[in-house]
Structure 1
Amino acid sequence: MALNITPPDISELKPRITVFGVGGAGGNAVNNMITAGLQGVDFVVANTDAQALTMSKAQRIVQMGTQVTQGLGAGSQPDVGAAAAEEVLDELRDHLLSGANMVFVTAGMGGGTGTGAAPVIAKIARDMGILTVGVVTKPFHFEGARRMRTAESGINELHKVVDTLLIIPNQNLFRVANEKTTFADAFAMADQVLYSGVACITDLMVKEGLINLDFADVRAVMREMGKAMMGTGEASGDKRALTAAEAAIANPLIDDSSMKGARGLLISITGGRD
């Protein structure tokens, strides 16, 4: 008698990851991630500015605060941004966040929409049991002391409602800039750092490698971990691995903090077969 043995069907259930861009800076960051080809994630953009939403490349967009702002933005007032997000709570919860395993909330701190709405959106996600990571920028010094104070207040609020918070001080970009760097170049560099902050985590889960991490591994490291820091390094030639690692540790774009006392560490290494 012949035995016909067939392997069982194996269902590969990949985590659903959503990148949620909030406000003008968050929307710009999402556009940059889409242009750069970030894989394995869903993109959502939320803004109070109707004109800015027309420029979005995201699959899903939501206009917040039509009653509060009439589509004209939050006017650099975080309380208006928060109220705008409150207007669309059901849509955020039932249609944009439902089914997600991990959510990155990305925004620029210091304005109205991102500063006010990002904590509201992050709280909804975390209350739904979604692993919630904030990836935000702090203003350049030339943007003024008032905007910096607003940003610090927004960061404190966001810190309370996310599992992990990655803060990128835009001012540190000038450590790698030169006399030919324009303001537009500086903001583009900030978008690139936001991309790196998200991609270095998502790539661990969605790209195949010699050593793979699954969502459970990432969740174990990032759940309820507070503030985080990020460094990236790239090198070629002799001693390239050591040079890249040293550059990542000494990355001038991270906040002025130390890895001493860190409770978790994620490392992503990409290279050729040699």
Structure 2
Amino acid sequence: MKAKKTTKAKPVAASKEMGELKRPVVNKKEKSKVMSTPKVKPVSTTKSRDEQVVVRIKVVGVGGGGGNAITRMYEDFPKGVELIAINTDLQDLNQAQAKKRIYIGKNLTKGMGTGMNPELGKQAAEENRAEITEAIKDADMIFVTAGFGGGTGTGAAPVVAEIAKDLGILTVGIVTKPFAFEGGQRARIAEEGIIRMRDRVDTLITIPNDRIFSIISKDTSLMKAFEEVDKILRDSVRGVTELILTPGIINIDFADVKAVMRDSGSAMVGLGIASGNGRAGKAASAAINSPLLETSVEGARGILLCVSGRNDLKMHEINEIASAVAESADQSAKIIFGTYYDRKLNKGQLKITLIATGFSDTLTRDGRYDSYFTESADLPVRVSSSLPFEGIANQNMREEREEVKSTPIERVGVVDDYEEEEIIEEKEKEWDIPAFLRRRKK
């Protein structure tokens, strides 16, 4: 009986005191239990998990496009990142692969979407503001991703971003712009949405869908093309999260990320993977000159640069990559560098993740500045973004029309064209409103 008392070894279960105890006489079964307890305990408790994954990162997909991106991320994404889907379309929301789904605007849309009406999307998010706040309040960093040009993504994403920013969370927006073939109205909706979004995030990354044509062939199917768009969103988010969550040889921590991304305006995320001879130069070129991102790295004043590889990663390769990036950025740019081993890479592969921020203006790869980010005396006066989306579009149209009238050389026939366009747009808008709302109007 005395032997059993000694072998029970109760104090050993308290892992903190284990080191101070003399080795007890135990049988093999008891020894197995005692030795395994300290290993299992830290993972099973919330406190220890928080210590292990210090930075809480959440990715919120808003609307149909955001939901698709979330689903794609769910298949292959770093552990420790929570995915949340938000939508007014209940059927679409149920298809999203996410840890949490938030159904917004139940009383407004009855689960049938917003019909390309961003004002309705905005109101839907406001209706469920408390639920959104509850879902994201404990995050340190949030990515808000959406496809702009529709109703829910364009209208609700800025509300989600605003909530996050008000909570003091580092907020990054990653949005896509519609294809040119989707029409002028979607393009205008997207532009006004980007203006709203830009005022409510720390960093905004915009990806024009039309850039997809630079990397796909004529034989690429429709589904495959949209998969590529979702992949760009996923890779942009993944690139940033891996920088934060992966321990490195030269580490980039969350404080570094905040220093570069807090209140930094427009940004770009470049990814480059290469192997074989000259892989460092190839990967650097791919990261700096990604054809899929709208903003060029030229003129960036803040850069996070991370190089990952396997055991064959060489010092001269790191030097070559860092030099290439420094040459492309602003001369006084703050460059934070990190490197880590990535066992997921194939043998001989090298990967570069580049986050560039702090641009003085939004310079596109075509060497021009986006009109909706640039104020100019020659352009119509920008109206306050506190107006409803529909009101902004109509106001801009009236201002453009007045400007045409004031130019004698352009007066003949132009006013009639605008009137005709307004009639057509009114008809289009009628069909953009969901059927149940059209019936309510009548």
TM-score clears 0.5: yes
Could you tell me which residue of structure 2 aligns to residue 193 of structure 1? 232
Is 1:88 matched up with 2:123?
no
Q: How many residues align?
A: 267
Listed one character per residue, the Cα deviations across residues 26-46 of structure 1 (whole Å, up to 9, x for unaligned) are 000000001123332111100
Following TM superposition, where does structure 1 have runs of at least 4 consecutive aligned residues deviating by more than 6 angstroms?
Answer: none
Could you tell me which residue of structure 1 aligns to residue 60 of structure 2? 20
Could you tell me which residue of structure 2 aligns to residue 234 of structure 1? 273
Shift of 1:235: 1.1
Listed one character per residue, the Cα deviations across residues 165-194 of structure 1 (whole Å, up to 9, x for unaligned) are 011111011001111112222111000000
- Out of 294, 309, 312, the position equivalent to 1:271 is 309
Q: Which stretch of the first structure deviates more once superposed, 78-87 or 223-232? A: 223-232
Distance 2:290 2:296 in 1: 11
Shift of 1:203: 0.1
Could you tell me which residue of structure 1 aligns to residue 289 of structure 2? 250
Alignment of 1:112-261 (within 5 A): 112-255=151-294, 257-261=295-299
Shift of 1:137: 0.5
Q: Does the 8 Å CA contact 1:225/1:263 hold for their aligned counterparts?
A: no
Q: 1:13 to 1:40 in 2, by over 3 A?
A: closer
Shift of 1:268: 2.4
Aligned residue identity for 1:129: G
Shift of 1:19: 0.2
Q: Does the 8 Å CA contact 2:205/2:267 hold for their aligned counterparts?
A: yes
Distance 2:290 2:104 in 1: 36
SS at structure 2 position matched to 1:157 = helix
Distance 1:234 1:140 in 2: 27
Q: Does the 8 Å CA contact 1:64/1:85 hold for their aligned counterparts?
A: yes
Q: Does the 8 Å CA contact 2:172/2:203 hold for their aligned counterparts?
A: yes
Distance 2:278 2:311 in 1: 15
Distance 1:268 1:151 in 2: 32
Q: Normalization by structure 1: what TM-score?
A: 0.93
Listed one character per residue, the Cα deviations across residues 13-33 of structure 1 (whole Å, up to 9, x for unaligned) are 611000000000000000000
Aligned residue identity for 2:100: R
Could you tell me which residue of structure 1 aligns to residue 112 of structure 2? 72
Going by fraction, where is helix more abundant, 1 or 2? 2
Distance 1:199 1:138 in 2: 20
Shift of 1:209: 2.3
Q: Does the 8 Å CA contact 1:138/1:151 hold for their aligned counterparts?
A: yes
Q: Which stretch of the first structure deviates more once superposed, 110-119 or 223-232? A: 223-232
- Kindly, what percent of the aligned residue pairs are identical? 48
Distance 2:183 2:224 in 1: 19
Structure having greater relative contact order (Cα 8 Å, sep ≥ 6): 1
Could you tell me which residue of structure 2 aligns to residue 56 of structure 1? 96
Give me the CA root mean square deviation.
Answer: 1.7
Shift of 1:240: 0.6
Could you tell me which residue of structure 2 aligns to residue 45 of structure 1? 85
Q: Does the 8 Å CA contact 2:116/2:151 hold for their aligned counterparts?
A: yes
Aligned residue identity for 1:38: P
Distance 2:63 2:89 in 1: 8
Distance 1:214 1:208 in 2: 9
Shift of 1:113: 0.2
Distance 1:270 1:192 in 2: 20
Distance 1:140 1:116 in 2: 19
Shift of 1:12: 4.5
Distance 2:247 2:141 in 1: 19
Distance 2:53 2:228 in 1: 35
Q: Does the 8 Å CA contact 1:231/1:253 hold for their aligned counterparts?
A: no
Shift of 1:153: 0.8
SS at structure 1 position matched to 2:70 = helix
Distance 1:104 1:79 in 2: 22
Structure 2 unmatched runs, 5+: 1-18, 21-47, 313-442
Structure 1 unmatched runs, 5+: none
Distance 1:28 1:258 in 2: 26
Shift of 1:220: 0.8
Distance 1:37 1:102 in 2: 16
Distance 1:16 1:39 in 2: 11
